[in-house]
């Protein structure tokens, strides 16, 4: 399976939270293709990991507006140090629900009127949730503000986005520090950040609705979820580079979700990048 995944801007996405729009000059088109081996681990019960094979990247910046790997934005204020943008992008939480191949399928056998059966079924249903039986988790379009402060090789970013498509009717935000440095010929970008997700967002994607399982309705509260990532590029020529990306996203703040099997997700990729 050929899977497209953006290593720059957007958890889930990403990706979700690189805020890469502060690094490209106006009237510049960037297009590249990464080919290699990688994976996005799926924290959902029975959810398959997502293989990464081919990763296209495209970004274009005009005078005031930009498109960066699925992130559309308009610059309200811009200097060499401060940038304030209106941004809009698809929420990436549904990425874990796209390709389901559950290991455990919950099926009713016997009489539903048996109190002993109901008690045992409720106790085991968390481990045997059939993701195919859940209501579809739809994509949402989020829009809001993103601010960047650039100081030498350091970039501090904050963003607040709201669902404008009436899908989960909540908000999400993020704080991030990114450092740009070189180790010999290798360009390195470590990033550390903190994602905020409202209870509405977490409940829609990681909770349960009435009738989905024997557990009934399950709500998930708001969360602060840290993440760390590193991106490295070793130039081979003007057009070719070796690309390495590793990211860790912590989901322990919502480990009360019955859909989660693991409290983290990781992204790893190693391949060859061709820039056009």
pLDDT tens, 157-189? Answer: 999 999 999 999 999 999 999 999 999 999 999
Q: What is the pTM of this model?
A: 0.80
Residue 6 domain flag: no
Per-residue pLDDT tens over the stretch 176-234: 999 999 999 999 999 999 999 999 999 999 999 888 877 788 999 999 999 999 999 99
CATH number of residue 260's parent domain: 2.40.160.40
Residue 185 domain flag: yes
Where does 13-114 have alpha helices with state H? none
Residue 12 domain flag: no
Nearest to 84 by CA among 146, 155, 173, 16: 146
Residue 11 domain flag: no
Domains: count for the chain: 1
Residue 3 domain flag: no
Return the structure tokens found at 239. 């057009």
Per-residue pLDDT tens over the stretch 82-114: 999 999 999 988 888 765 422 222 222 333 443
Structure-token match 């509405």, residue found? 200
* Angstrom distances, CA of residue 47 to CA of 28, 55, 101, 153: 39, 21, 6, 38
Percentage of residues of the chain with pLDDT beyond 70: 79
- Give yes or no for a contact between 87 and 75, defined as CB atoms under 8 angstroms apart: no
Residue 28 domain flag: yes
- pLDDT mean over 139-147: 96
- Give yes or no for a contact between 7 and 229, defined as CB atoms under 8 angstroms apart: no
Q: Residue 176: give the domain boundaries.
A: 20-102+114-275
- The rounded distance, in Å, linking the Cα atoms of 206 and 199 is 10
Largest CA distance in the chain: 70
Residue 153 domain flag: yes
CB proximity list for 224: less than 8 A, separation 6 or greater: 194, 195, 196, 253
Residue 93 domain flag: yes
């Amino acid at each position: 399976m050929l899977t497209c995944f953006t290593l720059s801007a957007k958890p889930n996405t990403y990706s979700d939270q690189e805020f890469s729009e502060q690094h490209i000059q106006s009237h510049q088109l960037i297009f590249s293709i990464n080919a290699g081996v990688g994976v996005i681990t799926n924290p959902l019960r029975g959810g398959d990991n997502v293989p990464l094979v081919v990763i296209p990247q495209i970004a274009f910046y005009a005078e005031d507006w930009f498109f960066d790997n699925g992130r559309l934005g308009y610059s309200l204020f811009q200097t060499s140090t401060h940038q304030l943008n209106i941004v809009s992008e698809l929420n990436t939480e549904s990425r874990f629900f796209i390709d389901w191949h559950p290991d455990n399928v919950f099926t009713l056998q016997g009489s539903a009127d048996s109190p002993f059966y109901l008690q045992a079924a409720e106790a085991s249903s968390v481990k045997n949730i059939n993701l195919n039986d859940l209501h579809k988790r739809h994509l949402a379009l989020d829009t809001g503000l993103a601010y960047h402060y650039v100081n030498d090789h350091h970039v501090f970013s904050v963003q607040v986005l709201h669902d404008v498509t009436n899908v989960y009717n909540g908000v999400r935000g993020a704080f991030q520090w990114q450092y740009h440095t070189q180790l010999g010929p290798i360009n390195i970008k470590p990033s550390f950040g903190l994602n905020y997700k409202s209870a509405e967002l977490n409940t829609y994607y990681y909770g349960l609705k009435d009738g989905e399982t024997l557990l009934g309705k399950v709500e998930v509260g708001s969360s602060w979820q840290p993440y760390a990532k590193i991106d490295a590029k070793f130039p081979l020529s003007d057009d070719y580079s070796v690309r390495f990306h590793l990211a860790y996203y912590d989901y322990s703040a919502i480990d009360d979700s019955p859909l989660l099997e693991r409290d983290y997700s990781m992204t790893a990729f190693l391949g060859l990048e061709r820039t056009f």
